[in-house]
Amino acid sequence: MGTKYDVLINEGLVNGADILKSSKYDTSLGLNMAEDARRLSDGLISEEEFVSKYQESVSKEFNQKLEVHASEGSHDNVKWGMVIDLRKCVGCETCTVSCKAENRTPPGVSYNQVFIEEEGTFPNVSRTNIPRPCMHCDKPPCASVCPVRATYKADNGIVVQDADRCIGCRYCMVACPYGARTFDFGENYDEMLGYEEVTSPEHGMDRGKRKEGKAPVGTVRKCNFCFHRLERGEEPACVETCIGDARYFGDLNDPESTVSKLANSSRAFRLKEEYGTEPRVYYLR
């Protein structure tokens, strides 16, 4: 029952059971697996539980082996890196916006920006858009100046900012040649409902509500390569949302990965290489 819209929608809805019945495989197994897959993605059950529950029936029914995706679960020996193709970048700032949305950054805090450089005079004009996340340098000047080791180079290549240790001296901001660090002055988007519900999810831990005077307010903040998303096997928000597919993300330790190959191409360069910071973000000119 209901309005005619409800009727229309209900008619349009596809019944999973009906579709599965038309295949030659077991319908109830398909429905159960779909159900548990949803619970898995919601984090209610672990991947190991899912695999042990269905391993037997999957090999019987599909003649395939179901196993825990080890390479996604543990990121041992990974050095994350990014490649940004400047020919593909249209300068739309989707990365900037999706980063703000994903990481719930307050006003004035932006982990990613897009710099637009126009050169020449009409009609000989060129325009380059340079998106700038944190470079996650191999030799990060921010980490070497930090008096309390609140920012450091993690084994996976990410330059981490410890919001619980940072004293807010802002030495790292002065020392970063890329302007990739911002200070959290404690401002809020008052007009946005629910904005304060989550604080800096990029640290991969639940910090609860954003409150006045509570860290990360009063500390320096920076891009974390969306570490919380990497842990879930997802790409950073800026990579996933890029409308021109200009960003690539992956393991620079793996010579076969897309990012490694692109980083070795003749088009690749890095920002301000003369500083010796060895950025892990490459650009393709």
**Does residue number 130 form part of the binding site for other proteins (CB under 8 A)?**
yes
**Does residue number 219 form part of the binding site for other proteins (CB under 8 A)?**
yes
Q: Is 239 helix (H, G, I), strand (E, B) or coil?
A: helix
Smallest gap, in angstroms, from Cβ of residue 252 to other proteins?
23
Looking at beta carbons only, is 38 or 139 nearer to other proteins?
139
Tokens standing for residue 62: 């599909």
**Does residue number 148 form part of the binding site for other proteins (CB under 8 A)?**
yes
**Does residue number 178 form part of the binding site for other proteins (CB under 8 A)?**
yes
Looking at beta carbons only, is 62 or 115 nearer to other proteins?
115
- Judge residue 138's burial from the number of C-beta atoms within 10 Å of its C-beta, 0-12 exposed, 13-18 middle, 19 or more buried: middle
Question: What does the chain come to in residues?
Answer: 285
Smallest gap, in angstroms, from Cβ of residue 78 to other proteins?
25
| Residue 153 phi, psi dihedral angles, 5° rounding | -90, 115
| Residue 139 phi, psi dihedral angles, 5° rounding | -120, 75
Q: Is 171 helix (H, G, I), strand (E, B) or coil?
A: helix
**Contact set for other proteins, span 220-259 (CB under 8 A):** 220
**Does residue number 109 form part of the binding site for other proteins (CB under 8 A)?**
yes
**Does residue number 54 form part of the binding site for other proteins (CB under 8 A)?**
no
**Does residue number 40 form part of the binding site for other proteins (CB under 8 A)?**
no
Q: Using alpha carbons, list the distances in angstroms from residue 245 to 66, 85, 90, 196.
A: 31, 8, 10, 31
Using CA atoms, how far apart are residues 161 and 151, in angstroms rounded to an integer?
4
**Does residue number 81 form part of the binding site for other proteins (CB under 8 A)?**
no
**Does residue number 120 form part of the binding site for other proteins (CB under 8 A)?**
no
Tokens standing for residue 89: 């970048």
Give the binding site for other proteins (CB under 8 A).
108-109, 113-117, 130, 132, 141, 144-150, 165-171, 173-179, 181-187, 212-213, 215, 217-220, 275-276
